[in-house]
Amino acid sequence: MTQNEAFMEHAPIINEKRCTRCGRCVEVCPKGIVVLRDDAVAYGRAGCMRCAHCYAVCAFDAISFDPPLVAPSFTSFPYAEEMVQPGKVRPGDLVNLLRSRRSVRRYAERPVPDEAMADLVAFAVTAPSGSNCQRWEFTVVNGRAKVEALGRSIGDFFTRLNRLVANPIVRALSVLVAGMKLVRYYRDHYASVAWGLEQAAAGRDPLFHGAPGLIIIHGRTDGSTPLEDAQYAGYNICLLGHALGLGSCFIGYAVEVLNRDTKLRRSLEIPPGNRVLAVIALGYPAVRFLKPALRNDYTVQWL
């Protein structure tokens, strides 16, 4: 591969007939991939991360990509692409939207259409990611029976774990091989997990709260900021879900179990090299919130 071919690999393709040499793409490129040279747009170096900033500032449709980059499409609601410029949304409207979205822990016995779940994932991947890595992958579990089965498997894991850590001798010996992990689990989580297992035995769902669907976000951890990327994508899911009339809730206990139970992760067809980064319960709320969220007072230091 020649140096020029290396520079051009995954780099934007410049349509010379449409390009006006205005230089906007050069100014916005975060990696110095595109440069102005002899009054022509050229490639300055390799390493394009396909962020599409150049495409987004080009007024003449002179930039494309190979393999192509695609815009999201949705089937469960009408959508027309429109660029909303900074300052063109009323700040109060945005604040009210975000404050009105709540973590829902009571769901109606109403299935979520597959089309809506697919649209949630399609919107999730429009989120930002560190160095534009986009290493996220998604597993959709849609259907109450499937969610219940997963909940039982996770409950079995916690039953075994609680039985183990209830033994003080096991906790003491575990310090030698596992550090303070089991000791901290017993101190911080044993009682709440025991309560949850009692609730499950009584026919309730303390883990997924009766949700009919889940979206699991997972991926390799060799990207720039994999955990943060997953949270961005997950909150996109929550916000669009709110707009679609759905409730949502991040389920941290499920994340922990799936990252520790290889057999369970394999049953969900999650690749061996992937780490589960978020599990989001979804469904139509069986509760109606009447007021926006309140928060603790906070401290801030100005320097």
Q: Where are the beta strands (DSSP E) in the chain?
A: 13-14, 34-37, 40-43, 63-64, 136-142, 213-219, 247-250, 275-283
Q: Mean per-residue pLDDT for 32-48? A: 87
Q: Which domains does the chain have, with CATH numbers?
A: 3-64 (3.30.70.20), 91-145+206-283 (3.40.109.10), 156-201 (no CATH)
pLDDT of residue 4 exceeding 50, the answer is yes
Residue carrying the six token digits 């991947």 = 125
The pLDDT of residue 243:
97
Quick check: 64 pLDDT over 80? yes
If you average pLDDT over residues 284-295, what whole number do you get? 95
| Closest C-alpha to 243, from 73, 70, 92, 79 | 79
Does the pLDDT of residue 3 top 70, yes or no? no
Residue-wise pLDDT for 247-261, tens only, equals: 999 999 999 999 999
Q: Is 179 exposed, middle or buried (0-12, 13-18, 19+ CB in 10 A)?
A: exposed
The rounded mean pLDDT for the chain is 94
- Look up residue 3 and give its two tokens: 């140096």
Radius of gyration, alpha carbons of the chain = 24
The residue-averaged pLDDT of 96-121 equals 97
Summarize pLDDT for 190-249 with one digit per residue, the tens. 999 999 999 999 999 999 999 999 999 999 999 889 999 999 999 999 999 999 999 999
Whether residue 8 is predicted with pLDDT greater than 90 in this model: the reply is no
Q: Is the pLDDT of residue 5 over 70?
A: no
Q: What is the pTM of this model?
A: 0.93
Task: Report the run of H or E that residue 168 belongs to, with start and end.
Answer: helix 168-178
Name residues whose C-beta falls within 8 Å of residue 205's C-beta, 6 or more positions apart in sequence. Answer: 148, 151, 199, 211
Q: Can you give the pLDDT at residue 171?
A: 93
Instruction: Report whether pLDDT(7) > 70.
Output: no
For the cut 70, the answer to whether the pLDDT of residue 1 exceeds it is no
CB 279 within 8 A of CB 255: yes
